[in-house]
A and B are shown apart, each in its own frame.
Chain A
Amino acid sequence: MLHIAKRRTVADRVFTGGLIACGVLAIVPLISVVWTTLSRGSERLDIDFFTQSMRGITGAGGGALHAIMGTLLITASATLIAVPIAFGTALWLTEYAASTTSPAVKALARTVRGVIDVLAGIPSIVAGLFMYAVIALTLGPGYRSGFAGAVALALIMIPVVERSGEEVLARVPAELKEAGLALGAPQWSVILRVVLPTALPGLVSALLLGISRIIGETAPLLLVAGFTDSMNYNLSAGRMISLPVYVYSQWQNKGVDAQAYDARAWSAALVLLAGVLLLHGLAGLVIRLQRQNRQVRRARR
């Protein structure tokens, strides 16, 4: 009896030890990536990097302002396109389609879910190729624009935001919706004033998940937004570069002073990384401020 107990303790220790090792293994590459990006990226993190483009630069110097602006513009427009569609679909599926008896609506909901699952699985380059084909057929093969890139990214973002949004909305207790309906509220009002506020923190993280998914996307933008060394604030026409594409182009098309190109690539990677982290921090702050605001408003009343 005793030696069985002992064997169990040993097995338990070994198992726990193995799990801890897995945990450590999982974070080692992550720490390494962050560390390398920090140490190599800080070299060119100067004022020029944030105030200049690469126009006319062939060696050292220059910056990534055009890529930073490009990332902001493309990501923001992709989010503006994707989020209403994604949350709208999620609301329709959870609040309306889930409680229907109509076979046609049920079939439509099944189809929509299936398509979204497929969409979530397509490689991002395919989304880029799709947009490329659409543009080539409508505006001509040479057309490049930031907006086209944003649409391609929105295609990638919609399934991510829709799925996590749907999960969050499905977790809002049915009892709360019933309570709202029992007070004589129409369903849209219950959705607007009970379901959405209850799900808000989760919806914010769904949104963030979507942005994190696309902000580092390179392939589709290479195809439809293209490279440029110059500033371009116009989403609707002209090539527009983003940070990941900038990293790629600096690394791929090194000039004579290869060191300078590498340094810029690392700095751009660092800015991208910092941006994603900042976004996460910001979202946490927004949620907390909202809670506080509500309390302040209550206290004033």
Chain B
Amino acid sequence: MTIKIENLNAYYGALQAVADVSLTIQECAVTALIGASGCGKSTLLRCINRMHEIIPGALVSGVVRLNETNLYEPQADPVAVRARVGMVFQRPNPFPTMSIAENVLAGFRLRGERLSKTESQETVEHALSAANLWSEVKDRLKSPGTGLSGGQQQRLCIARALASRPDVLLMDEPCSALDPASTGAIEELLGELRLAHTVVIVTHNLSQAMRVADQVAFMATTSAANGGHLVEYGSSTQMFDHPAQSATQDYIAGRFG
């Protein structure tokens, strides 16, 4: 599913976080949003599933299209949008009162959708397999999700997002709280997810962006009051090997700030 962002502006009260970003994100590919802290990349990500506006005083203007549907058209329901777009957060956040299986099925339960027993079992196995976690947890599906290691918890969160079969998966620095081995597992997983999903990942880790991303968007801000704008957008190879903008070159070479 292609994501078309047109003239997107996002604010926290009077403070602008994203300034006039237009960007087309390719389907079945991994797109990385990179840039210094505070450049608005996480905010931009949270505009793609309308999570930005849950913050009091937050405001969005502009257009985000999933294929042809504008998520911000007046009659669009933000709750329904979020069901179609999966999200994985910086810190693993499985529900502590739920088992591993219940965590995977949490989306259905929270949306009030009933699944038959076989459907539930199939969904759990399918989602956990897709998140490369099935073989590690298949014998303890009934134990608490918070009993897993950090990396496993994050893959459980990915499984929870995948269970609802979203077309788009948004990941907000999904590895920043994980050790290198767990990070490796998630990066490997990203390579498989891109075959069927449109993945957008925010990362501070440039080598990670280089390893996992097909497309890279570099955002920057001229001053804290202005909000982040899109500096350059292109394929990973182009961005890392021949960036057109000097700002991009400076950032990937570590000369920024």
Residues of B near A182 (CB, < 8 A) are: 49, 51, 82, 86-87, 89, 161
Would you call A186 and B51 a contact (CB within 8 A)? Answer: no
Partner of A194, one of B51, B86, B110, B112: B110
Partner of A181, one of B80, B82, B96: B82
Task: Kindly report which residue of chain B lies nearest to residue A192, judged by CB atoms.
Answer: B110
Residues of A near B87 (CB, < 8 A) are: 182
Interface string of A188-199 (1 = CB under 8 A from B): 011001100110
Q: Any chain B CB within 8 A of the CB of A179?
A: yes
Interface of A, helix, strand, loop or mixed by DSSP: helix
Smallest CB–CB gap between A106 and chain B, Å? 10
Smallest CB–CB gap between B92 and chain A, Å? 9
| Contacts A183-B161, A184-B83, A185-B110 given; does A99 touch B95 at CB 8 Å | no
Q: Any chain B CB within 8 A of the CB of A101?
A: yes
Task: Kindly report which residue of chain B lies nearest to residue A177, judged by CB atoms.
Answer: B54
Would you call A178 and B83 a contact (CB within 8 A)? Answer: no
Would you call A183 and B110 a contact (CB within 8 A)? Answer: yes
Smallest CB–CB gap between A288 and chain B, Å? 15
Would you call A183 and B83 a contact (CB within 8 A)? Answer: yes
Q: Any chain A CB within 8 A of the CB of B160?
A: yes
Would you call B110 and A175 a contact (CB within 8 A)? Answer: no
| Contacts A99-B56, A194-B95, A295-B142 given; does A184 touch B89 at CB 8 Å | no
Q: Any chain B CB within 8 A of the CB of A180?
A: yes
Residues of B near A197 (CB, < 8 A) are: 97
Task: Kindly report which residue of chain A lies nearest to residue B91, judged by CB atoms.
Answer: A175
Residues of A near B81 (CB, < 8 A) are: 184
Would you call A185 and B79 a contact (CB within 8 A)? Answer: yes
- Tell me the bound Cα distance from A281 to B80 in angstroms: 44
- Tell me the bound Cα distance from A99 to B107 in angstroms: 23
Q: Any chain B CB within 8 A of the CB of A173?
A: yes
- Tell me the bound Cα distance from A100 to B80 in angstroms: 21
Q: Any chain A CB within 8 A of the CB of B106?
A: yes
Would you call B110 and A301 a contact (CB within 8 A)? Answer: no
Would you call B111 and A183 a contact (CB within 8 A)? Answer: yes
Would you call B109 and A193 a contact (CB within 8 A)? Answer: yes
Would you call B160 and A183 a contact (CB within 8 A)? Answer: yes
A contact set with B: CB distance below 8 Å: 99-101, 173, 175-176, 178-186, 189-190, 193-194, 197-198, 200, 294-295, 298-299, 301
Sample (5) of A-B pairs whose CB atoms are under 8 Å apart = A178-B89, A181-B79, A183-B111, A186-B79, A200-B97
